[in-house]
Amino acid sequence: MAVFAWGANSHGQLGLGYESEMSIEPQKLKKYSFTVTSVRSICGGGGHVLVLDACGQLHACGWNNRGQLGLDITQDNISEFKMIPMKFFKDSPIDLMACGWDSSGCITSDRKLYLWGSNAFQQLGVCHRGFTSVRKPMQIQLPGNDTPLRLSLGMRHSAILTGEWKVYIYGRMKLSDNISEMLSIVKITQSLLVVKISSRWSEEYCIKNIASGQNHRVEVFGDNKYGQANAFQFEEKIIRLAAGWTHNSVLLKNNSVLSWGRNSYGQLGWGQFTENHAIPMQLSVSPVIVPIDLHLGSEHGLMVTKEGDVFTWGWNEHGNCGNNSTNNIATPTLVDLPTACRQAACGAGFCFAICVKVN
């Protein structure tokens, strides 16, 4: 197995051992701090990457101007993956992790929440002038000692879903005009930007998942200039929920991929360049293609199929679609990888893929 990366690399976020403007084709990584076969998940931020392995260890590379790599160092860029010391998490294995634009976070196996990186908008849950950035993972206690269940980070906020099906949001946020009457939204502190979101009818309507973009929250929150904050009820079960800067996508149980919001770069993937679409549009792919995973960068998308193929579309200024071009793509295009992809991920303007049986 081998790791491939492509797209923007100005902060060394591709993990190639050097910084460059971009790589417009997939490049094979030669050195990393994890075992490829043990990788559980990959997550990309504005210019940094986190990798979670089967032992519950985190590995980081890329942009570190705000300490978002969690390595407790002041170096701005790290171009090869390094493991974040487990002592920073009190030796508790990591269960899941997330990247924001210049912040990071994780939840450990004993359900402890850690955040680090930029705190310029109080997105780490700290209201203190001396904490504009945090370079070492910091444990955060949720109000009421609630248990963190899921985590999603955006450009200026952190969103935490609890075991009680409530969502706490730290940092800067904007409420849209079409908030569902089924949700209760309460600002719970004056000194710190913290908002609690919960269901008014918890037995019938529970918040099950969260995803964050630059200017919105899926379902009800944020700037709705491009229709990205519109809420929809899908008849099919949602398998995967993803958010870009100004658009959203869902992968449904019937293998459909639907997207809505901005489409200036073709990021909705339905075959045309348009300003926006306020209702979900079907991804333009052959009906014989069966998607099993879906990821969004800032303005581009990536899909992994049942056969292990990787398709990308949308914004391509930094070669983030990996097709040896910098022209934007309105239709999903097959990425030339040596073998089937086991898993993949997007950052703001770059992608990663792990391929099987590579010499």
Q: Which residue has the tokens 């009818």?
A: 201
- Answer whether CATH 3.40.720.10 is correct for domain 212-343: no
pLDDT at 53: 98
Please list the residues that pair with 53 across neighbouring strands: 39
Q: What is the pLDDT of residues 28-41, one digit of tens each?
A: 999 999 999 999 99
In this model, does residue 219 exceed pLDDT 70? no
Q: What is the pLDDT of residues 234-272, one digit of tens each?
A: 788 888 989 999 999 999 999 999 999 999 999 999 999
pLDDT at 184: 62
pLDDT at 216: 35
| Cβ-contact 108, 55 below 8 angstroms | no
Please list the residues that pair with 8 across neighbouring strands: 22
pLDDT at 169: 87
pLDDT at 238: 85
CATH 2.130.10.30, the chain: domain bounds: 32-207, 212-343
In this model, does residue 205 exceed pLDDT 70? no
| Cβ-contact 321, 331 below 8 angstroms | no
Amino acid, single-letter form, for residue 132: T
- Answer whether CATH 2.130.10.30 is correct for domain 32-207: yes
Q: What is the pLDDT of residues 69-84, one digit of tens each?
A: 999 999 999 999 999 9
Q: Is the dihedral of CA 292, 229, 197, 141 positive or negative?
A: positive
Task: Please provide the average confidence, as pLDDT, over all residues in the chain.
Answer: 88
Tokens of 49: 């990457």
pLDDT at 177: 55
In this model, does residue 167 exceed pLDDT 90? no
Left, alpha or beta for 72 (phi > 0: left; psi -120 to 50: alpha)?
Answer: left
Q: What is the pLDDT of residues 2-22, one digit of tens each?
A: 999 999 999 999 999 999 999
Q: In sequence order, what DSSP letters do the residues of 46-104 get, joined into one string?
A: SSEEEEEETTS-EEEEEE-TTSTT-SS---SEEEEEEEPPGGGGTTPPEEEEEE-SSEE
In this model, does residue 193 exceed pLDDT 70? no
Q: Is the dihedral of CA 214, 322, 283, 3 positive or negative?
A: negative
Amino acid, single-letter form, for residue 58: L
Q: How many other β-carbons are positioned within 10 Å of the β-carbon of residue 50?
A: 28
Region 320-340 average pLDDT: 97
pLDDT band at 218 (very low <50, low <70, confident <90, very high): very low
Which strands sit side by side in the sheet containing 113-118, from one edge to the other? 94-99, 103-108, 113-118, 133-140
Name which of 298, 291, 280, 273 is nearest 334 in CA terms.
291
| Cβ-contact 63, 6 below 8 angstroms | no
Q: What is the pLDDT of residues 47-102, one digit of tens each?
A: 999 999 999 999 999 999 999 999 999 999 999 999 999 999 999 999 999 999 99
Tokens of 124: 């780490």
In this model, does residue 290 exceed pLDDT 90? yes
